[in-house]
Amino acid sequence: MHNVPGPKTSMPVAVDTDGSAKTAGSPVGQRPVSTPARNFSFWAKRSVIFLLAVLLVAYGTYGVITDTLVLPAKGGGTFGFHGYPGWVCYLGLLLFAGAMLAEAFDKELPAKKGSSRKIHIYLGTSALLLTALAIALEVHRSDKAYVCTDVEYARVRSPEKAVSAVIFTRYCAEYDPMTSKNPIQMIMVAKNSETLPSNLQRTPVIWMNDNDIDGVSWTEGKLFVRYRAREHVKKGIAPQASSDFPVPVALVRR
């Protein structure tokens, strides 16, 4: 008897999730055959992500060492972290950088039995939680550390009434108010014998905001305040007087 060869059959072909074909029965998680184009695309994308992660870690390291760690906030502003909240935020940045690297490289590794390969999700979630904790700690710390003090430097008496325009500067900063980088000039009206109150929370005042006083004078019971905008402020806020200010006010820009 002669063995008659049967019809040739081919192994069933399965299509992997990345579009590459492989025969059924090949080991689970086996990498597809690499090509020069695929290798270039792989390393180009991963190199960019790796560089971004390194820059993020370097930025966080510099910020926490110099105590100037800031993150972007709404409206184009920034939110700064100081002291121990800065270290908590720094740890969040490290975890976020780790999540970036895990997301980039973990998918290219063979899946282990029982492993879901979701480490980037855990790292990213932990980073967000730590950042939220750092913001809460910074708000709590700054509320207790932020202090203000008012320093009077001039008085202009009214010729018609026994009152004076009291010109003073408010300094606000953490721990030491005199280290304020942006003191605000203010004006209030008080009796000639009255000293500057320690608490001006309910006292009607004129806020000079981003402006400096050029001169203050009285004319027929009306207070004239001449001011100029600060040079380093491009779009400053104009002076504002409380609605219940005790005398008529004229704010004149130079």
Q: How does pLDDT run along the chain (254 residues), one tens digit per residue?
A: 455 555 555 445 444 444 444 444 445 445 555 566 666 676 778 888 889 999 999 999 999 998 889 888 776 678 888 888 899 999 999 999 998 888 777 655 555 544 445 788 888 899 999 999 999 988 888 777 778 889 999 999 999 889 999 999 999 887 777 788 889 999 999 999 898 887 787 889 999 998 999 999 999 999 999 999 988 777 778 899 999 999 999 999 98
- Interval 19-61: pLDDT, tens: 444 444 445 445 555 566 666 676 778 888 889 999 999 999 9
Q: At residue 222, what is the residue type? A: K
- Interval 107-130: pLDDT, tens: 555 555 444 457 888 888 999 999
Q: Give kind and range of the element (H or E) at residue 79.
A: strand 78-81
Residues 6+ apart with CB under 8 A from 107: 117
Q: Give kind and range of the element (H or E) at residue 153.
A: strand 146-157
User: Is the distance from CB of 102 to CB of 68 less than 8 angstroms?
Assistant: no
pTM, two decimals, is: 0.49
Residues 6+ apart with CB under 8 A from 136: none
Query: Would you kindly state where each structural domain of the chain is located, as residue ranges?
Result: 34-144, 158-253
If we measure between CA atoms, which residue out of 236, 233, 214 comes closest to residue 225?
214
